[in-house]
């Protein structure tokens, strides 16, 4: 929901919508792969000024088309109808006395320090979503710029706020993986919650793909390798992310002179607002995620496992390589006018149609996919298997030949939850 690493929720909700806004705008979906943007070969011959102007106009048009298609795919969200926590359930979530949370507060007394609130000078807005608005701020104690995610209690459910904080603090206490957004501070007043997060300067991969188009294979392999290291770390810690998407991969935005030679763009996995502990018995009775990224078993059976995060990562890989999403809806359907269950059925229908074996094989021989390495196609297919028991795990992704071949340094990341 934000532009900051840890709170991509607001940004996610703005650009890709978060699981709870189902009535978002949805531009016309393209009906087949033939309608999707195609890469055009650049002529080696000198062009006239008129030809250059025409080419620039075409490039701008394609960038806008990509933006509209990606935005449309992710602006419609599944409504996450998570249960409303009772005071007793809420108290257990944050280890607080029940009476401490009966006065409209979500968190224990220790998070209500006035000196903490005064420490941060709020600046310009970075993004906003269904539950939160993210601001750039100055930490007057350290002089560093940070991001502050502000959640209004009138719209932000108690359980979601408490759950996100509990997971972020658990990860911080156990030695968080450096590809996962950290939390720096927390405070609460009578009307709002404030999460202080690391400030990311580079936007997110949704912006990058929608404005610049697909990225080279080596870069895509590096992104997926780093993403799966982060997901594997979460899964090893018993946590499912449940909302992996381009908008939640926040770019560090290093200046060129700050980068090591050959260094890839650094990013972090953000927005743990819908993350859940795998052993929570009541966590998975309702759908959560972003349409266009949600795994078919979640849409069909509300079945969650680490495999659902791998599916979402597979969608990310597909878009990085192709520049457009893989499973378009049939044309002529006003998705915004549909109810939640109808939207879920429509999404599942699109996935099952597109993933039919012969149709999928044919699809990967057309358009931009004709020039993509067979190893990349194989990995996408294994990450997007309909049966979660046959889908690649994060560890299998990390050991995939295409990933290994395209990774300059395979062992530079560490799973440091131990």
pLDDT at 89: 41
Under 8 Å between Cβ of 177 and 236: no
Strand bridging mode 267-269 / 239-240: unpaired
pLDDT in tens, 138-155: 999 999 999 999 998 888
Q: Which two tokens stand for residue 149?
A: 């995610």
Tell me the binding residues for ATP.
149
- Could you tell me which residue, 223 or 171, shows the higher pLDDT? 223
Under 8 Å between Cβ of 308 and 393: no
Give the residue-averaged pLDDT of 408-417.
45
pLDDT at 142: 93
Token pair 């408490």: residue: 162
Length of the chain: 418
CB atoms within 10 A of CB 162: 22
pTM of the model: 0.75
Give the C-alpha separation, 355 to 89, whole Å: 40
| pLDDT interval class at 300 (50, 70, 90) | confident
Token pair 């359980």: residue: 159
How many Å is the maximal CA-CA distance in the chain? 76
Q: H-type helices in 87-126, by residue range?
A: 87-94, 114-119
| pLDDT interval class at 22 (50, 70, 90) | very low
Separation of CA 71 from chain center: 13
pLDDT in tens, 84-115: 334 444 444 444 443 444 467 888 888 888 77
Residues with Cβ within 8 Å of 285's Cβ and at least 6 positions away in sequence, in order, are 83, 302
What domains sit in the chain, N to C, each tagged with a CATH number?
A: 31-39+52-79+202-406 (1.10.510.10), 81-197 (3.30.200.20)
Residue 229 backbone phi and psi in degrees, to 5: -60, -45
Give the residue-averaged pLDDT of 199-206.
84
| pLDDT interval class at 41 (50, 70, 90) | very low
Share of the chain above pLDDT 70, in %: 67
- Could you tell me which residue, 390 or 171, shows the higher pLDDT? 390
Q: Which range, of 169-178, 259-268, 323-332, averages the lowest pLDDT?
A: 259-268
Q: Which two tokens stand for residue 75?
A: 């602006």
pLDDT in tens, 304-358: 899 999 999 999 999 999 999 999 888 888 877 888 888 889 999 999 999 999 9
Give the C-alpha separation, 243 to 312, whole Å: 8
pLDDT at 18: 35
Is 80 exceeded by the pLDDT of residue 215?
yes
Asked about 243 being catalytic, the answer comes back as yes
Under 8 Å between Cβ of 417 and 233: yes
| pLDDT interval class at 280 (50, 70, 90) | low
pLDDT at 39: 33
Give the residue-averaged pLDDT of 162-185.
80
pLDDT at 148: 92
Q: Which of 243, 271, 309, 400 is catalytic?
A: 243
DSSP 367-384: GGGGGS-HHHHHHHHHHT
Is 70 exceeded by the pLDDT of residue 124?
yes
Query: For residue 391, with 0-12 CB atoms within 10 Å meaning exposed, 13-18 middle and 19 or more buried, which class applies?
Result: buried
Token pair 């932000």: residue: 156
Residues with Cβ within 8 Å of 362's Cβ and at least 6 positions away in sequence, in order, are none
pLDDT in tens, 346-398: 999 999 999 999 999 999 999 999 999 999 999 999 999 999 999 999 999 99
pLDDT at 99: 42
Is 70 exceeded by the pLDDT of residue 28?
no
pLDDT at 143: 94
Give the C-alpha separation, 219 to 406, whole Å: 8
Give the residue-averaged pLDDT of 158-174.
83
pLDDT at 221: 94
> Among residues 11, 18, 84, which one has the least CA distance to residue 293?
18
């Amino acid at each position: 929901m934000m532009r900051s690493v840890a709170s991509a929720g607001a940004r996610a909700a703005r650009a890709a919508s978060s699981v709870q806004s189902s009535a978002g705008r949805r531009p016309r979906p393209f009906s087949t792969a033939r309608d999707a943007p195609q890469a055009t070969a650049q002529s080696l011959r000198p062009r006239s000024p008129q030809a250059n102007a025409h080419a620039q106009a075409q490039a701008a048009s394609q960038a806008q088309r990509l933006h509209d298609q990606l935005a449309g795919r992710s602006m419609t969200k599944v409504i996450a109808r998570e249960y409303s926590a009772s005071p007793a359930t809420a108290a257990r979530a944050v280890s607080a006395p029940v009476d401490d949370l009966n006065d409209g507060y979500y968190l224990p007394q220790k998070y209500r320090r006035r000196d903490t609130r005064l420490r941060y000078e709020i600046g310009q807005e970075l993004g906003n979503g269904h539950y939160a608005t993210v601001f750039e701020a100055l930490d007057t104690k350290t002089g560093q710029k940070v991001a502050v995610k502000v959640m209004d209690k009138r719209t932000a459910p108690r359980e979601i706020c408490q759950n996100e904080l509990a997971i972020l603090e658990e990860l911080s206490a156990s030695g968080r993986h450096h590809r996962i957004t950290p939390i720096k501070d927390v405070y609460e007043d009578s009307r709002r919650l404030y999460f202080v997060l690391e400030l990311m300067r580079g936007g997110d991969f949704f912006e990058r793909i929608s404005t610049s188009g697909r990225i080279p294979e080596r870069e895509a392999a590096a992104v997926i390798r780093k993403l799966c290291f982060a997901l594997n770390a979460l899964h090893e810690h018993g946590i499912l992310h449940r909302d992996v998407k381009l908008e939640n991969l926040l770019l560090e935005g290093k200046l060129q002179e700050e980068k090591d030679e050959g260094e890839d763009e650094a990013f972090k996995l953000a927005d743990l607002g819908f993350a859940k502990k795998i052993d929570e018995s009541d966590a998975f009775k309702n759908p959560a995620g972003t349409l266009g990224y949600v795994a078919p078993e979640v849409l069909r059976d509300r079945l969650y496992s680490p495999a659902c995060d791998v599916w979402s990562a597979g969608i990310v890989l597909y878009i990085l390589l192709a520049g457009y999403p893989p499973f378009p809806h049939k044309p002529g359907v006003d998705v915004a006018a549909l109810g939640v269950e109808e939207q879920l059925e429509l999404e599942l229908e699109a996935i099952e149609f597109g993933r039919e074996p012969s149709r999928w094989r044919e699809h990967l021989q057309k358009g931009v996919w004709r020039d993509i390495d067979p190893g990349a196609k194989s990995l996408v297919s294994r990450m997007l298997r309909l049966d979660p028991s046959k889908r690649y795990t994060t560890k299998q992704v990390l050991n995939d030949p295409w990933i290994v071949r395209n990774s300059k340094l395979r062992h530079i990341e560490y799973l440091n939850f131990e």
